[in-house]
Amino acid sequence: MSPPDQMPETGPSQFVIAIDGPAASGKSSTSQWVAQRLGIRHVDSGALYRAATAAALRVEPDADRWTPEGVLAAASSIQLVPTDRTFAALLDGQDCDEELRSTAVTSQVSRVARMQPVREWVNARVREAAREHAVVVDGRDIGTAVFPDAALKIFLVADPWERAKRRLVQRLERLPSDGEVAEETERLVQRDAKDSQQTVQAADAVLIDSTYLTQAEQVDRIESLARAVSRNTDGSSEVDGGGWKRYF
């Protein structure tokens, strides 16, 4: 078994783990952790939608005036660059993570995500990243639209109240009040509704409900599944003429 910090060579037969699910279901943090355990990279597709939204806001603060062409033009200021274990979406060469997570961006991102040319632009960036590296990719449609042949597909869900609470604990770094959780739950449910078209569970995805799981338990499950899939596909797969490697 390769040491965890060894980056597998992927070549043409890339190894992709797709983790999809609704807002704040813990996809990004879980994906990062799983990628770290396996010694591969994480790609956060949502960060690209957020970066496109932030870029559009910089050019035109009135979102009602946005067009797909305008958003795509603004998105030309974005670069997806490999960092130690993940890929950062930079705006004009700068890491703007706080801006990407801001309320202004979060409240408009679903509008941008419904623009088909923007989806194609994001999908192309994500596929480019996966061409070079074995990856864990998180999003809404990774196991269906972006990598329908992913080696492992997970659909991560949790009760909306629990998701809202986790997101607030992460943001506020304290326990939120019930009133705060109720407001955040409402916002998440509204965003889920706006994202419903693009949030698709693949028929062959493994459904994990993390409502009563700790994050470590959820990461353990996905890591075991990934290692099992990797062993099962060792040299015997039809994929890429049997050139499919054992990765971890």
Contact between 121 and ligand CDP by CB under 6 A: the answer reads no
- Dihedral over alpha carbons 100, 106, 111, 115 (to 10 degrees): 30
Among 32, 86, 110, 210, binds ligand CDP (CB under 6 A): 110
Residue 109 contacts ligand CDP per CB under 6 A:
yes
The token pair that represents 165 in the structure block: 């609470």
Q: Among residue numbers 161 through 200, which ones bind ligand CDP (CB under 6 A)? A: 191, 195, 198
Binder of ligand CDP out of 57, 74, 89, 113 (CB under 6 A): 113
* One residue of 41, 42, 125, 140 binding ligand CDP per CB under 6 A: 140
Amino acid (one-letter) located at 28: S
Stretch that binds ligand CDP, among 2-10, 106-114, 207-215, 239-247 (CB under 6 A): 106-114
Of 1-9, 69-77, 108-116, 207-215, the window that binds ligand CDP (rule: CB under 6 A) is 108-116
What is each CA distance from 70 to 59, 65, 99, 196, 214, in whole angstroms? 9, 9, 20, 24, 42
Assess 201 for contact with ligand CDP (CB under 6 A): no
CA–CA separation, 166 and 107 (whole Å):
19
Taking CB under 6 A as the binding criterion, the range among 127-135, 140-148, 178-186, 231-239 that sits at the site for ligand CDP is 140-148
141 binds ligand CDP (CB under 6 A): yes
DSSP 95-148: E-HHHHTSHHHHHHHHHHHT-HHHHHHHHHHHHHHHHHB-EEEEESSIIIII-T
Give the DSSP letter of residue 174. S
Interaction of residue 28 with ligand CDP, rule CB under 6 A: yes
Closest to 124 in 3D by CA, of 144, 139, 109, 146? 146
What is the binding site for ligand CDP (CB under 6 A)? 23-24, 27-28, 45-46, 49-50, 109-110, 113, 139-142, 191, 195, 198
